[in-house]
Structure 1
């Protein structure tokens, strides 16, 4: 969004009694400690050997910030370029808070996004510098005589605002917390109509959660979800793909709602155990079911 120019302003005096509508009344710099470095890392199972670490140093010249590194995992990105962009924006957000000006003025045209240039100031170092209004609070008062139509008393207006140097690439602070999933949920495996098994090359499946009111219990009900096994090596390990209609346990990597994965299957009234545990509790077995249609099986029973 292009910034709007607010013109040139001068530093005035609240004691002179000769205030103009384009004067700044008070001016104070507020400095905040900034991270000297921002590092983020993530992992993509499709590229397990790729290092997705992104790191950047601050442009703020302040002694002692080199040791103040912010490290985050997961960064929630799958490409290194996305990681670089995320790190740059997060660091710019912190840098934007390093040097803020808190001031008051009589400039009625000011608003967030307006920029102005200092024409005259009691500190010569400020002259010629430009600042952008970050936030502003307006104060106005209409005297009783003004309201009655006499208009003999002056309309009183001031504002208080925060601003930052115009050369800074401003980023607003990240304050909205990301949703976090706690604990496990159960869901039902779904897929295209007429299929019994629906999985991709990684053995991932799709599910419909019990709380989902919009899903149609088909291949569009969720994203692909990885399935956890007791072993998973290079073309060796366990493989038992949950089938459509199975009830499964779903958890979330790092509590991220965008990264669900299946941790196991559970029996229910429609899908009961092959043997009644209350009567044959000593039986341990692994029993398959032929597909499509069933009717055949293989079984390992102890």
Structure 2
């Protein structure tokens, strides 16, 4: 089940994509036709907070809509926004979570012993096919980082590793675009990671029930069709469970929280000489069982 935030005819709505990824069902529009009332919250964070009842309600609505094709809208007719366009807090990001990426950014000594976490500001978030600003006035070293992102589905604190997957709603794709020169200059990650439009996300959130093992998914990033990153989440140092457990120690995780799990080797800075993004470049991140996130750098 794929959940989207989309815009059609000037209205923003929460919907689900059909299995063939050709049509969108706006949840509240369909529920009004079915029962005469808007049965769903207006944003995806509040929908996620409904927990298991959301999934049952959506299944019931899809059963009804199967006999009412006019309730669906063609995917090409809508604008797919970031599934969570306005996160309620910063996006959590795990740094150097693939050994080969840690090495390409330095050496074996840079492979972390503990989960390494930084954040990106909510104002970084944009959707599938949105344009990434080139920010040429502040950076000459814009870089890509394709990543699997976790969407938290339940409030939790002090979560045990064996229970961690139960706190996940689903997964999406994030491109953790980074200004490497700002990252170096300021001796920390936040500014270099938080320029506006530098967190493309989407194109949807896939419910965990249809993704399978998050620690065994193929991940690939291309720039203008050239494969730059090609790996599998089985290569991450700290598993999805490790990440959730670590973050929840003394910190409350809430529905709609977004956690990017780290990027594989092959980033622009890792090449010799470096291959940073240029105006007009198209970056696509594909993750098994989720889909493809595509964005172009501002010309």
TM-score for the superposition, normalised by structure 2? 0.23
Higher percent of residues as helix: 2
* Structure of larger gyration radius: 1
